[in-house]
Every structure is written in structure tokens, then in C-alpha cells.
Structure 1
Amino acid sequence: MSVIAFDEIISSSSSSSSSSSSSSSSFRTILLIHGLLGCGNDFADFAHSLASSVSTSHDSADWRMVLVDLRNHGRSTDIKGLSQPDDTINAAKDIANLVKSLEWAWPDVVIGHSLGGKVALQYALSCAQGDYGDSAELPKQVWVLDVVPGKIPTTSHYAEIEKALYKLKTVPSPIHSKEWLVDHLINLGFSKFLSEWISSSLKRSGDHETFYFNIDGVIEMFKSAKDMDYWALLEHPPKGTEIAIVRTESKLKWDSDLVERLDSLAKRETDESTGKVSVHVVANSGHYIHKDQPQTLLQIMTPKISSLA
């Protein structure tokens, strides 16, 4: 069985270290899933801070932070044999297969940013449906960072992203520098912000730059994630699971109807027969909350995650 690439950060009462593999099942696991065109390393700084924060809050707990490279991204770009098609369901299944192959305990916490947030929701849904087998255990917490849980409307912003991804298929190679690609995309009519974001996903290879993702694969993943709708999961969260939506103040992404719908779910009375939804707003942050406002995010997450120990 093919598995996606990952890194680990191990944090315990006695030590804190990084490694690429571990067969121990004694750790509580926090799994972090990056966004479109990213890789696991995008979460590295935040994961180290979170490991330190939860360990300080509960000295007796041993934590494993797992930073994955989703299919078609980072070191998973060239991995063969992953289930097809390249959609959100199979991206989530990759995570379950990783857990099974390494014989880890199932993750207690799953954190996903943007595209990774949709994958995190699908992972929870598939666990609840029994898609990963009888041994699979639901995460106790699912953290969804700045992505709409339902179908994403075809606004100009998302339309521009999809158009830019298709244009990448026509970019001449070799790409000599990130600056060249930024200028090239701007000349094609894309915004400077979008052009710089795409160019940040280049990797140096010899005397030129190369994409650190598979273009065709990420296009399919983007289209799939955009069309997936997890409102039913939020309306009926599985017993024992909290789904925490962390959003920015952006009115472009989070319109009043969305905000009202989420707040209504968070305020709803629940009992032990069902899970719950919480909503957290991070002020003065861009899309990358874990980079723009890491301390605020830690203050939100640490008490909740530490309560699991």
C-alpha cells in the first residue's frame, strides 16, 4: 500500500524531538494538513509551538505532531499507487492508510487549513461512516482553519485561482526564478498576490525552479474540495467529536449568511448523544492564520487540546 510523505514532532514530559518515523502507539496524535499548493512544512513552526504549549499545559502527556504532504503536493508529488481519482475523499483516505500502515493510534486531533480543512472534515465523515474499517476511531477534535464547510461559490476570487492553475500548464520551462514566474503571471492578468502565492510553491532544482506539486493533480483536488459540502456533518456532528471552525474577519469569504449559520450551530444545545460545533474568530489575520496570528491560535487551541490528556 502506497502512503503519503510525512514528518513527526514528538513532544513529551521528558523530551521534544523531530523524526521521520515512529512505531510507538503510546502518543496522543495531532495531525496537521496543509492547504492547496502547500506542504507539511507549512505547519512546522506552528506545530513546534503547539507541541510545546500542550506539553507545558499537561506535563504527563506525550504528543505526536504529524505533518503530512497531501497527494500531489511536496514530497508526495511523485508517489505512485495512491487511490484514484485525485479527490477529497481519497486525500482523506490517504491519511487513514498512513495511520494503518504505521500502526499508530488513530489521531485524537486533526487540524486542516483551507483545502486541508475540507480533507479534515472528510476524514471525520469517513470515520463516522465506517469507511476505514471497524478499528478506526473518530478524532475527538477537528479544527478547520479558514475554509467554508459547504460548497464554495464561484466568486471572482476562486475563479481566478482555478484559471491560474490551468495557466500553469502552459508556463514554459525551465523556470529560472520565482521573480520571473511572478512577472509572467502578472503579465497574463493575474493579481500580484496570487502570482506571489503560486511562486512561493516553487522548489530549487539545480540552476532553475520547479513546481513542488503536480499541476493536474492539484487542479482535480481544488475542484473536488470546492464542490464538497459538509454542512450535514456540522448539523449532526458524530458523538464525542467537536468540530471547531476558526475563521478570519474577511467578509469576502465569510458573508453574513455563513456567519449566522455557523453561529447558530455553535449556540445550539447538545447532549451526550451527539458531538458539537464551536466557532472562533481571529482578528487581524490573513488566510494563513497559523502564520499571521500563531499566538492567538495557540490561545484558542491549547486549553481544548490539553483537556484531552
Structure 2
Amino acid sequence: MAARMSKNKQGGFNLLTWFLHSPTTRSLKTLAYEEVRSSTDKHYTSTAFILHGLLGSGRNWRSFSRNLAATLSTTSPSSEWRMVLVDLRNHGQSADIEGLAPPHNMANAANDLASLVKAKGWVWPDVVIGHSLGGKVALHFTQSCARGEYGQSTALPKQEFAVVKEQLWVLDSVPGEVKSENSDGEVEKVLQTLQSLPSQVPSRKWLVNHMINLGFSKSLSEWIGSNLKKSGEHETWAFNLEGAVQMFNSYRETSYWPLLEHPPQGIEIDIVRAEKSDRWEPDMIQRLEGLASRVRDGPEGKVSMHVLPNSGHWVHVDNPKGLLEILASNLVSI
């Protein structure tokens, strides 16, 4: 999530023309993605990247993103938002793209986003919204932009020239290392179970029943089943399991507390903690609350914290209305 380059009107027209005459979902040598907008009658003025969680895909956020774009269009008629739903490496349609080489870690997943922006000739996103695994990819993307790792064009804005703050939203993603003793092990158990299965399974119904018989909840089992795709007479995964496991390990091992301690100039990092999520230890919450309440001297950015009531980890499913209210009320101001 970097500085927005100046939006050239002629370039904007070319991008709009390209958008209208191109398929909604595209597979690239970089990443696959889908664009969601409330209307194509006018050119978009702002862009948000939406990053899904482990074993998910951009389509998981399609309905929520449509509602968010429509809400923002209604509350601020002068703005038109484009939501770019990205399939991270090893996930969704990006799982079949060659060239996304290992190591499969947070750094390379963030690099993929920069490559996508450059390959398409886009302006850099105004907002990046990442859930769970995607939250840490978003944090790394912001960190790399701040360090100038993606080139001169991504340098974060200087306060005196920044009319608008850039925003990063991290949805129920623990920013620090995730120790084994601080986890109930459900994700690990799911990954181990999937690794024990053949690459092709008889049917989605068979998989769901198999997971339930192993003790997993019906809702989790059905969600895992939704990540299958047809392969001849059988079903196979819509993700690269081994690559996803490597990404999960990187997610657990990587900490972005230093970034939150000293957020880049011109950036607001918003952390959304789901009220019923089991991923947060009391000391983490206290640390975040301290950062959010701290009065900052100098040009550093800002950290804000929000609590999403009546929601577990799957924020866009458990309380989509509440999440929409939190995001829309803040995004409308940029």
C-alpha cells in the first residue's frame, strides 16, 4: 500500500476502456484477480486491494466487496471505488500460474502484488485490506513500499504533499509471531489432514463427511469442501497445498510489530479484532491498544484498533454488516 502516483486523465480513460473490453477475471503471469465495482458508468477514483486468508481465494470476498463498493458510492457520490480481489500465490486461479517461484513466504507474496501493479500499469492502491494470512501479506507489502523495495514510484507520500492518507486494514490477523503454545492447533490439524489425503478425492460430499468424522465442525468441513474443483471423475484442490503450508509457516514466523511501532509517514494502519476470535492473547490486545492510544510526535503514521462485535475469525461471514460499517465509515473520508 504505497503512495498513489498522480492520476493522468488520459491514462485513466485508457484504463477504463481496457477494463470495459476485458474479462472480469484474468490470469496473469503474476497473479489472478477479479475487479468489483458498483458501476462502470464512470471511471474509478480510488482502488482497494482485497487479500483473502489461508486456503481461500478472492471470490470468498466477492459479495462483501460488492456491498462495500455500493455503500461507498452511495455515501460519497463523487468517488467511485474499484475493488481488486486478488488470488494470492498458491491459491485460487493463481495456483495454476507458472513463475511464482518459491520460497512461498510473506515477502514473495507481497512482491507478487507489486509485480501485478507494475505489469498492469496501474496506479498504486489507495487501500489494502487483508484478512488473516492476507493481513500479514498486506503488512509486508506496506513495509516494502516504505523501504523503497519496489522502486522509486512507490515511495510513501511526504506529509506536506499528501492530500489523502493511505490506509492498510488488517482483519483479525495477529501482527507478531504465532507460537505453537498460543494456538489451539486447528489450522495445523486441518493442514495435516489435507496432506494425508490423496491429491484427488471422490467428491465434495465425501470430503465433507470425512472431515466431520475426524471431528471438524460442519461449517469448517463445508468450507474446505468449497475449495475443490472438478478434475475428470474426481475432485482436486483449488490451491497448491504444499505451497500454502509454506506460506502458513512464514505467517507464523514473521513479526510486524516494528512496523506498528513506527508506521510510515502518511499511513494509517487499522487493525480489526473480531470480538470472539480465539487468536488474540491478552498481552497482544494490550500492546495494540497502547499503540493506538499513543500520541505520536513527528511525522510517523498512525495505528488504530477496532473491535468487531459478535464475530469470530471469519469476519466477513460472521458479521458482514458490522465490518461494512467499520470500513465504510473510515474509507469514505479518504
**Is this a same-fold pair by TM over 0.5?**
yes
Give the distance between the partners of 1:143 and 1:233, measured in 2 at CA. Answer: 14
- Report the alpha carbon displacement of residue 187 of structure 1 after superposing the two structures with TM: 4.6
**Which deviates the most, 50-59 or 85-94?**
50-59
In 2, Cα distance between equivalents of 1:292 and 1:141: 24
TM-score by length of 2: 0.83
| Number of aligned positions between the proteins | 299
- 2:6 corresponds in structure 1 to none
Contact 2:32 2:93 in 1 (8 A): yes
Moved more, 203-212 or 231-240: 203-212
Q: Is the contact made by 2:199 and 2:237 (CA closer than 8 Å) also made in structure 1?
A: no
CA contact 1:28–1:105 (8 Å) conserved in 2: no
The 5 A counterparts of 1:274-289 are 274-289=300-315
Is the CA contact (8 Å cut-off) linking 1:125 and 1:233 kept in structure 2?
Answer: yes
Matched, 1:175 2:201: yes
1:92 Cα deviation (Å)? 0.6
Does the 8 A contact of 1:32 with 1:65 survive in 2?
Answer: yes
Counterpart amino acid of residue 72 in structure 1: N
Report the residue type matching 2:110 in the other structure: A
Whole-angstrom distance in 1 between the partners of 2:298 and 2:106: 29
Matched residue of 2:179: which SS? Answer: coil
Which residue of structure 1 aligns with residue 67 of structure 2?
49
* Structure 1 residues 15-34: aligned runs within 5 Å: 15=41, 27-34=45-52
Could you tell me how far 1:208 is from its partner in structure 2?
2.6
- C-alpha distance in structure 2 between counterparts of 1:202 and 1:3, whole Å: 23
Shift of 1:43: 0.7
Report deviation, 1:155. 3.8
1:249-291 CA distances to partner (integer Å, 9 max, x unpaired)? 2363222211111111110112560110111101111211122
Alpha-carbon separation, structure 1, partners of 2:190 and 2:317: 24
Cα distance in 1, alignment partners of residues 183 and 282 from structure 2: 18
What is the one-letter code of the residue matched to 2:150? Y
Q: Which residue of 2 aligns with 1:111?
A: 129
1:256 is aligned, of 282, 286, 293, to: 282
**Is the 2:200–2:237 contact (alpha carbons within 8 Å) kept by the matching residues of 1?**
no
Give the direction of change, closer, same or farther, for the CA distance of 1:233–1:156 in structure 2 (3 Å limit): closer
Q: CA deviation at 1:102?
A: 0.5
Q: What's the TM-score once normalised by structure 1's chain length?
A: 0.89
CA contact (8 A) 2:228 2:237 kept: yes
Residues 49 and 150 of structure 1: CA distance in aligned 2, closer, same or farther (over 3 Å): same
Q: 2:96 aligns with which of 78, 89, 109?
A: 78
What are the within-5 Å matches in structure 2 for residues 187-266 of structure 1? 187-188=213-214, 194-250=220-276, 252-266=278-292
Q: Find the counterpart in structure 2 of residue 20 from structure 1.
A: none
Q: Is the 8 A contact 2:182 2:281 kept in 1?
A: no
Does the 8 Å contact 1:166/1:219 carry over to 2? no
CA-CA distance at 1:234 after TM superposition: 0.6
1:260 is paired with a residue whose SS is helix
Instruction: Give the corresponding residue for 1:10.
Output: 37
| Cα distance in structure 1, aligned partners of 2:144 and 2:194 | 32
Larger mean Cα displacement after TM superposition, 48-57 or 246-255:
246-255
**Percent identity, aligned pairs only?**
52
Gaps of 5+ in 1: 17-23
Question: Hey, what does 1:126 align to over in structure 2?
Answer: 144
Contact 2:277 2:311 in 1 (8 A): no
The amino acid that maps onto 1:284 is N
Q: Provide closer, same or farther for how the CA distance between residues 156 and 205 of structure 1 changes in structure 2, counting only shifts above 3 A.
A: farther
**Correspondence for 1:147 among 155, 173, 191:** 173
User: Contact between 1:109 and 1:141, CA under 8 Å: does it hold in 2?
Assistant: yes
Q: Distance in 2 between matches of 1:191 and 1:295?
A: 24
**Which whole-Å CA distance do the structure 1 matches of 2:112 and 2:215 have between them?**
36
1:159 aligns with 2:159: no
Q: Which residue of 2 aligns with 1:291?
A: 317
Q: Which residue of structure 1 lines up, in the alignment, with residue 14 of structure 2? A: none
Secondary structure, in 3 states, of the residue corresponding to 2:200? coil
| Distance (whole Å) between structure 2 residues aligned to residue 127 and residue 43 of structure 1 | 25
Output the aligned Cα RMSD.
Answer: 2.2
C-alpha contact (below 8 Å) 2:128/2:138 kept by paired residues: yes
C-alpha displacement of 1:104:
0.6
The offset of 1:114, in angstroms, is 0.5
Distance 1:216 1:294, change over 3 A: same
Structure 2: any 5+ residue segments left out of the alignment?
1-27, 157-164
Q: Secondary structure at the match of 2:327?
A: helix
Give 3-state SS (helix, strand or coil) of 1:169's partner: helix
Q: CA-to-partner distance for each residue in 1:86-129, whole Å, 9 max, x for gaps?
A: 11110011001000110111000000001000101011001011
